[in-house]
Amino acid sequence: MPRNLRLCLLLAFALVLAAPASGTVTDKRKKIQDKIQTLEGKLGTARHKHAVLTTQISRMTGRIRLLEGQIGTATARLDSLQARLAVHEKTLNKLNASYEVQTQLLITYRAEFTVAQRTLEQRLVAIYERGQPDTVAVVFASKSISSMIDQISYQRSVSNQDRRVARDVKRSRDRMQVLQSRTKRNRERALAEAKAVADAAWQQRTTRDALARHQNDLASARVDKRQTLAQVQTSEKEYLDEITGLEAASRRIEAQLRSSGSHGSGVSSSGLIWPVNGPVVSPFGMRWGRMHEGIDIAVGTGTPIAAAAAGTVAYAGWESGYGNFVLIDHGNGLATAYGHQSRIAVSTGQSVSQGEVIGYVGCTGHCFGPHLHFEVRINGSAVDPLGYL
């Protein structure tokens, strides 16, 4: 075999061996970057949830403290009302006991009145039989026993015995009426005051219990929020740890790509065209404390995506975080990436020309609305696409 032919075969074999290795490293690094992007999205969501939960817990704590003060005030008022109610209950118990005693006295006075009335009736009969005209006239002129007693008490014609009997009857009657009236008023007043205080105490107790229930509900809700916050904080730490590890791996792969000799000078800023026409809603740079390695262009679902430059499709398929994803190698160290497609229109290994449709806009993978995630990479490193469009 001629020496030149043998050298050509050896060179071709070396290129065949080198190509898959370079492609494997590139794919591995891209997958790591995709996973980092997914984790950054999760981390951003977790941090937002962290902030919301912290605010909610702070507000709940303030409301719980406010309720504690209101419950303390309600409890103090209730204690005061209960003390007043106890005093009124004692007074009412005394009045009830007095009422019982007075009832017995009333029964005694009524008996005395009956006896005095009978004695007076007997005396009037005797007066009538003896023919004492003044007293008889008084008797017949009276409209009732009560008025007759009042008049006879002041009649000089009635004997001392008659006047004493009439006086005893009148005294018993008056004492009975006064006692009935006084006892009734005192008892009604005590009952009314006790009822008013009891009603106020019931209302205050109801208010205090309602406040206490609300406080307990808030305390329980705060416990749940704190548990959720602890879980979110744990997730944040896990995401950060994983991102840190992936970024370290990405740097190692980037160094490996550079050392493999797979690089070039790139193309001029006029070499790429916009893949879609729309506003940039998320630029290249730091986002949520991490690097956003592309730009997000907001356009509707189904919008055709054009290849930014001619090249070879290095990968077309599903990638975590990116969803439906296309990576085009333009040569000379330049590559472009297109993420979140609703549908892919090319396949791996296919040659495409500048402006050719490679897919359609969607919201697959880690996405919050239809848009195109567009990246430009030089020698494997992400750069700001706006500098090349």
Could you tell me the pLDDT band of residue 241, with boundaries at 50, 70 and 90? low
Closest CA to 276 of 196, 366, 346, 339: 339
Mean pLDDT, residues 1-20:
42
Of 8, 4, 15, 42, residue with least CA distance to 243: 42
pLDDT tens-digit profile of 188-211?
Answer: 887 887 788 888 888 888 988 888
The DSSP H or E segment spanning 324 is strand 323-331
State pLDDT tens for residues 318-341.
Answer: 987 788 999 999 988 899 999 999
Q: Who has greater pLDDT, 332 or 152? A: 332
Mean pLDDT, range 3-8, rounded to an integer: 42
Q: What is the pLDDT of residue 143?
A: 59
Task: Say what the pLDDT of residue 8 is.
Answer: 42
Which pLDDT value is given to residue 362?
95
DSSP E strands in 166-298: the ranges are 280-282, 285-287, 290-292, 295-297
Backbone phi and psi for residue 368, each to the nearest 5 degrees, phi listed first: -115, 5
CB within 8 Å of 355: residues ≥ 6 apart: 273, 306, 307
What is the model's pTM?
0.38
When pLDDT is cut at 50, 70 and 90, the band that residue 2 belongs to is: very low
Nearest CA to 219 out of 74, 49, 75, 65 is that of: 65
- Of 187, 197, 360, 334, nearest in space to 272 by CA: 334
Residue with tokens 């009604």: 188
- Kindly indicate the confidence band of residue 3, based on its pLDDT and cuts at 50, 70 and 90: very low
Q: Which pLDDT belongs to residue 297?
A: 94
Residues 6+ apart with CB under 8 A from 46: 232, 235, 236, 239
User: What is the distance of C-alpha 261 from the center of its chain?
Assistant: 59
Chain segment 273-310, per-residue pLDDT in tens = 999 999 998 888 876 666 778 899 999 999 999 999 99
- Check residues 386 and 20 and name the one with the higher pLDDT: 386
Distance CA 194, CA 93 (A): 11
Q: Is 353 left (phi over 0), alpha (psi -120 to 50) or beta?
A: beta
Select, from the ranges 17-21, 260-264, 333-337, the one with the highest average predicted confidence (pLDDT): 333-337
Tokens of residue 109, six digits: 């006075």
pLDDT at 353: 96
- DSSP states along 157-168: TS-HHHHHHHHH
Per-residue pLDDT tens over the stretch 25-40? 566 666 666 667 676 6
Task: Show Cβ contacts of residue 211 under 8 Å, excluding neighbours closer than 6 positions.
Answer: 67, 70, 71, 74
